[in-house]
Amino acid sequence: MLHYALIFLIVAVVAAALGFGGFIGGVAALVAKVLFVAFLLLAIVAFLRRAK
């Protein structure tokens, strides 16, 4: 888990250095939307499995 945190820290620092402008901004927005939907679906599945 710590490994993933360090990877995300490096990605965040690189993105901040580039200013989230242009292409990087579009990619960041797309990734954020995809991750939001994925985690929302996983949460719904987890709640439904726990209810049974």
- The H-or-E segment that residue 42 falls in is helix 22-51
Quote the CA–CA distance of 10 and 22 in Å, as a whole number.
20
What's the pLDDT band for 11 if we cut at 50, 70, 90? Answer: confident
pTM of the model: 0.53
State the pLDDT at residue 20. Answer: 61
Phi/psi zone of residue 20: left (φ > 0), alpha (ψ -120 to 50 degrees), beta? Answer: left
The pLDDT of residue 12 is: 79
pLDDT at res. 38: 92
* pLDDT, average across residues 22-27: 72
Whether 25 shows a pLDDT value over 80: the answer reads no
* Average of per-residue pLDDT values in the chain: 80
CA distances from 16 to 12, 39, 47, 50, 51 (A): 6, 24, 35, 39, 41
